[in-house]
C-alpha cells in the first residue's frame, strides 16, 4: 500500500520505518527542512535501538522515502498524522501542527485516502479533522478519518511495533477498518521477518480492537494516564515505606503478583518524565474539565510527580548537609534508559536545582549528553561514569541504564572522595552496594537489608528486587 507518514519524530519515523519493513511503500515527511536533509542523507536524528538499520535497509530497498508533506501526500492511500502535540500553557494539547497537516492534505492529496491520527490528541479531534478536511478538500479528493493510537515506548519502540499487545483503531466505516487491517496484516498474523530477534518464533497474535474514533482517542489518553497514576501511587507508597521503615520493593512485589494489579510500572523513583506522560496527564485533566467531569484524581497524580524532584534533592541535602560547593556526580540524564530523549526528564530539573544551590556537578549519560548540553551548557559532561564520579562526594543515579549494573565497584570506591550512592531508581540491592563500601541511599526501602549482618540468611533474589 502507498502510505504517507506526516512527522518524522520518535513516533513518525519509527512508524514509517516499520511500515516499510513489512512491505509498504512509505513516504515520510517533515516540515523541518534541516531534519529532512539529515534523513535524506541517510542519518537518523535521534537514538532509538534498531531504528537506524531499519531506515538504512528500507531506504536502500526504495520502500522508504523522505519528502516534504506536500509531495508525500500526493498519491497516498493512507496518511498517518504523527506530528507533535506539545502542551500549551494551560495544559491543553497544541493541535496547530495537526491542523497544518490537515490543510496540506486537503490541498495536495488526491482520490480516496484514509487519514489516520496517530499523534496523541484529545477526544473529538477526529471530528475536527474531518470538518477541516471537508472544508478545504480540493476537487476529486475523498478523505475518511480514523484513529490509531500508538503505544510505542521510547527505547523499545521497534519491538513494540512488531510485537504489540493490541492494535487499536477507531473508524467510521467497515472499509476503513478493512484498509487498516491490511496495513497491519503482517503484524496481526505475526508473519514478518523479525528485524530484532534473530530466531523470533513469536506466535502471540496481538488483539485487534475496533472502536469508534472517540473511544479510540480516549483509549490512548486513559492508558497513559492510568500508567502515570500507577507510578505516582507507588511513589506515595515509597514515601510511606520510608516513613515507617518498610520496603517498597517488597510491597510492590506483593501487590504486583495480583493479576488485577500487575507488576509493571510499580517502580518508584524520581518521577515520570518524557514527552508523553507529563503532557498527556495534563491534557487529560483539561479534556475532562472541558467536558464537565471532575477528574481531580489526575491532578493529584501530576502534583505527586512534580514533587519528586524536590523530594530527591532533599534526600541529597539530608546526606550532604549543605549543597553549595559539593562535588556531585549525576549518572543518567535521559528520561529513561535506551533513549537520548531529555524532554521533561527529571534529570534536567534535578541538575538545575543542584547548580542553583552551588553544587559542582559532573554528569554522565550513555546517549543523552548532547541533548542535555543544549539545555544546560554550564554542567560538566563526562565521557564515562568513572570520570563523572572522580573526587565526588555523592553519586546520584537518575536513569537506570544497564551499563551502571556492571559497574566495577572497587574501581569506583577508589576514585570517589566519599563513597555515597544515592539511587533515584532503586537499581541496586542495598546489601551489594554496602558490601562494596558505599553508603547506599535509595527510594522507599527501609533499613531491613542494609542493617542485616553479612552472613544473615536473605530471602531469594526475586523477593529482594523491585517488580520489573
Ligand atoms: C509511554 C507509554 O508507555 C507508551 O505506551 C506510549 O505509547 C508512549 O508513552 C507515548 O504516549 O508515546 P514512554 O514515554 O516512552 O512511553 O516511556 P515509559 O516506559 O512509559 O516511561 C515513562 C516514564 O515513567 C519514564 O520517565 C520512566 O522512568 C517512568 N517510570 C516508568 C517510572 O518512574 N516507574 C515505572 O515503574 C515505570
pLDDT for the residue 447 = 57
Show the low-confidence residues of the chain (pLDDT under 50).
448-453, 455-468
Q: How far apart are CA 441 and CA 136, in angstroms?
A: 60
Joined together, the cell numbers standing for residue 251 give 510491597
Atom of ligand 1 nearest to the CA of 223: 5
What distance in Å separates the CA atoms of residue 22 and residue 29, rounded to the nearest whole number?
19
Give the residue, by CA position, lying nearest to ligand 1 atom 9. 276
**Could you tell me the three cell numbers for 444?**
522507599
Give the 3-state secondary structure of residue 291: coil
Tell me how far the alpha carbon of residue 278 lies from the centroid of ligand 1, in angstroms: 10
Distance 233 CA to ligand 1 centre (A): 15
Beta-carbon count within 10 A of 257 CB? 11
Position 197 scores a pLDDT of 86
- Atom 22 of ligand 1, nearest CA residue: 272
Q: Tell the residue nearest (CA) to atom 24 of ligand 1.
A: 272
Q: H or E element: which one contains 40?
A: helix 33-40
Strand stretches in 240-353, DSSP E:
327-331
Going 171 to 176 to 177 to 183, the CA torsion angle's sign is negative
Tell how far the Cα of 110 is from the centroid of ligand 1, in angstroms: 38
269 is written with which cell numbers? 523513583
Cα 167 to the center of its chain, rounded Å:
18
**Residue nearest (by alpha carbon) to ligand 1 atom 12:** 276
Ligand 1 atom nearest to CA at 400: 28
Our measurement of the distance from residue 308's CA atom to the centroid of its chain's CA atoms, rounded to an integer in Å, reads: 18
> Which helix (DSSP H) or strand (DSSP E) does residue 250 occupy?
helix 248-256
Angstrom distances, CA of residue 23 to CA of 20, 61, 189, 192: 5, 10, 14, 9
**pTM of the entire predicted model:** 0.92
3-state secondary structure of 207: strand
Residues 6+ apart with CB under 8 A from 27: 2, 3, 4, 5, 65, 66, 67, 71, 72, 73, 76
pLDDT at position 196, please? 87
* 209 CA → ligand 1 middle, Å: 22
pLDDT value at residue 212: 98
Q: Please state the atom number of ligand 1 nearest to the C-alpha of residue 157.
A: 15
DSSP code, position 138: P
* Owner of C-alpha cell 472544508: 135
Residue 447: CB atoms within 10 Å? 10
Nearest residue (CA) to ligand 1, atom 37? 265
Q: Which atom of ligand 1 is nearest to the CA of 149?
A: 7
Instruction: Please state the atom number of ligand 1 nearest to the C-alpha of residue 335.
Output: 26
Residue 384 phi, psi dihedral angles, 5° rounding: -140, 160
Relative to beta strand 207-211, strand 394-397 is unpaired
| 363 SS3 class | strand
How wide is the angle at C-alpha 361 spanned by C-alphas 358 and 363, nearest 5°?
155
- pLDDT at site 446: 74
Q: Which residues line ligand 1 (CB under 6 A)?
A: 120, 150-154, 224, 227, 231, 265-267, 269, 272-274, 276-277, 335-336
**Residues in the chain, total:** 468
Give the contacts of 85 (CB within 8 A, at least 6 positions apart).
Answer: 93, 94, 95, 97, 98, 119, 120, 121, 279, 283
Rounded Cα–Cα distance for residues 442 and 400 (Å): 13
Sign of torsion over alpha carbons 164, 166, 170, 172: positive
pLDDT in tens, 180-215: 999 999 999 999 888 888 888 777 899 999 999 999
Alpha helices in 66-212 (DSSP H): 69-73, 96-108, 125-136, 157-162, 174-189
Distance 362 CA to ligand 1 centre (A): 26
Protein residue whose Cα sits closest to atom 2 of ligand 1: 153
pLDDT value at residue 353: 97
Q: Which of 49, 224, 239, 270 to mutate to test the pocket of ligand 1 (most atoms within 8 A of CB)?
A: 224
What distance, in Å, lies between the first and last C-alpha atoms of the chain?
A: 39
Which amino acids are annotated catalytic?
Answer: 276
- Nearest CA owner, ligand 1 atom 18: 153
In the reported structure, the alpha carbon of residue 172 is separated from the centroid of ligand 1 by a whole-number distance in angstroms of: 30
Amino acid at each position: 500500500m502507498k502510505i504517507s507518514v506526516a512527522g518524522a519524530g520518535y513516533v513518525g519515523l519509527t512508524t514509517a520505518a516499520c511500515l516499510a519493513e513489512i512491505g509498504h511503500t512509505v513516504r515520510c515527511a517533515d516540515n523541518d527542512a534541516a531534519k529532512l536533509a539529515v534523513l535524506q542523507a541517510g542519518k537518523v536524528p535521534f537514538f532509538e535501538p534498531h531504528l537506524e538499520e531499519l531506515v538504512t535497509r528500507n531506504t536502500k530497498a526504495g520502500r522508504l522515502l523522505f519528502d516534504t508533506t506536500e509531495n508525500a501526500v500526493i498519491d497516498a492511500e493512507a496518511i498517518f498524522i504523527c506530528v507533535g502535540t506539545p502542551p500549551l500553557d494551560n495544559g491543553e494539547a497544541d493541535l496547530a501542527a495537526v491542523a497544518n497537516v490537515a490543510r496540506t492534505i486537503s490541498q495536495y492529496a488526491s482520490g480516496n485516502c484514509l487519514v489516520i491520527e496517530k499523534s496523541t490528541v484529545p477526544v473529538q479531534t477526529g471530528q475536527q479533522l474531518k470538518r477541516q478536511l471537508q472544508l478545504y478538500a480540493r476537487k476529486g479528493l475523498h478523505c475518511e478519518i480514523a484513529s490509531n493510537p500508538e503505544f510505542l515506548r521510547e527505547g523499545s519502540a521497534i519491538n513494540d511495533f512488531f510485537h504489540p499487545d493490541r492494535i487499536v483503531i477507531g473508524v467510521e466505516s467497515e472499509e476503513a477498518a478493512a484498509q487498516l487491517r491490511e496495513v497491519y496484516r503482517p503484524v496481526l498474523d505475526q508473519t514478518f521477518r523479525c528485524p530484532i530477534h534473530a530466531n523470533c518464533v513469536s506466535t502471540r497474535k496481538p488483539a485487534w480492537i475496533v472502536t469508534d474514533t472517540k473511544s479510540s482517542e480516549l483509549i490512548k489518553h486513559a492508558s497513559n494516564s492510568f500508567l502515570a497514576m500507577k507510578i505516582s501511587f507507588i511513589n506515595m507508597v515509597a514515601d510511606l515505606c520510608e516513613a515507617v521503615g518498610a520496603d517498597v520493593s517488597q510491597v510492590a512485589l506483593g501487590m504486583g503478583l495480583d493479576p488485577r494489579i500487575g507488576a509493571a510500572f510499580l517502580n518508584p523513583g524520581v518521577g515520570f518524565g518524557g514527552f508523553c506522560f507529563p503532557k498527556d496527564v495534563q491534557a487529560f485533566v483539561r479534556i475532562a474539565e472541558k467536558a464537565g467531569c471532575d477528574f481531580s484524581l489526575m491532578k493529584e497524580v501530576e502534583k505527586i510527580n512534580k514533587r519528586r524532584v524536590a523530594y530527591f534533592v532533599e534526600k541529597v541535602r539530608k546526606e550532604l548537609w549543605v549543597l553549595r560547593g559539593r562535588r556531585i556526580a549525576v549518572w543518567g540524564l535521559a528520561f529513561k534508559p535506551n533513549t537520548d530523549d531529555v524532554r521533561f526528564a527529571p534529570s534536567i530539573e534535578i541538575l538545575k536545582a543542584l547548580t542553583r544551590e552551588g553544587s559542582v556537578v559532573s554528569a554522565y549519560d550513555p546517549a543523552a549528553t548532547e541533548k542535555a548540553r543544549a539545555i544546560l551548557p554550564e554542567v560538566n559532561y563526562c565521557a564515562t561514569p568513572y570520570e563523572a564520579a572522580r573526587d565526588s562526594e555523592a553519586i546520584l543515579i537518575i536513569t537506570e541504564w544497564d551499563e551502571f549494573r556492571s559497574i566495577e565497584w572497587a574501581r569506583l570506591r577508589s576514585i570517589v572522595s566519599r563513597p555515597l550512592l544515592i539511587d533515584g531508581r532503586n537499581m541496586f540491592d542495598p546489601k551489594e552496594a554496602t558490601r562494596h563500601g558505599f553508603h547506599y541511599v535509595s527510594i522507599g526501602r527501609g533499613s531491613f537489608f542494609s542493617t542485616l549482618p553479612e552472613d544473615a540468611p536473605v530471602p531469594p533474589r526475586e523477593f529482594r528486587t523491585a517488580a520489573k
